Amino acid sequence: DAKTTQPPSMDCAEGRAANLPCNHSTISGNEYVYWYRQIHSQGPQYIIHGLKNNETNEMASLIITEDRKSSTLILPHATLRDTAVYYCIVRVGGTYKYIFGTGTRLKVLA
């Protein structure tokens, strides 16, 4: 099973792009990368996921390196409500087993 490594904390100015890195150097070919975030006392909320290609949705963009050993979540215009713990997760292909790391605590500053 792949594991992920994230910086423990980051700050970002409101209105600026927040770029959250994740290392998953032992990821296998059939393992997806998911990003969730967790606001205090709530359950994790899905943001985006990908296998090989870059992905974009209404919340964020996901950039996966060509060798798939790392990825970056981009929140294009961070707001105060984006303050949360962000988890980069590897899901073992064909299963529901999500391997969470310790996450990055993002603080958006006014």
Partner 1 sequence: DAGVTQSPTHLIKTRGQHVTLRCSPISGHKSVSWYQQVLGQGPQFIFQYYEKEERGRGNFPDRFSARQFPNYSSELNVNALLLGDSALYLCASSPGGPGEKLFFGSGTQLSVL
Enumerate binding residues for partner 1 (CB under 8 A): 32, 34, 36, 41-46, 49, 87, 93-103
For the bound state, the minimum distance from the C-beta of residue 90 to partner 1, rounded and expressed in Å, comes to: 11
Pick from 79, 82, 90: nearest CA to 45: 82
For the bound state, the minimum distance from the C-beta of residue 103 to partner 1, rounded and expressed in Å, comes to: 6
Q: CB–CB of 19/62 below 8 Å?
A: no
For the bound state, the minimum distance from the C-beta of residue 98 to partner 1, rounded and expressed in Å, comes to: 6
* C-alpha–C-alpha distance, residues 65 and 104, integer Å: 19
Which CB atom, from 43 or from 110, has the smaller least distance to partner 1? 43
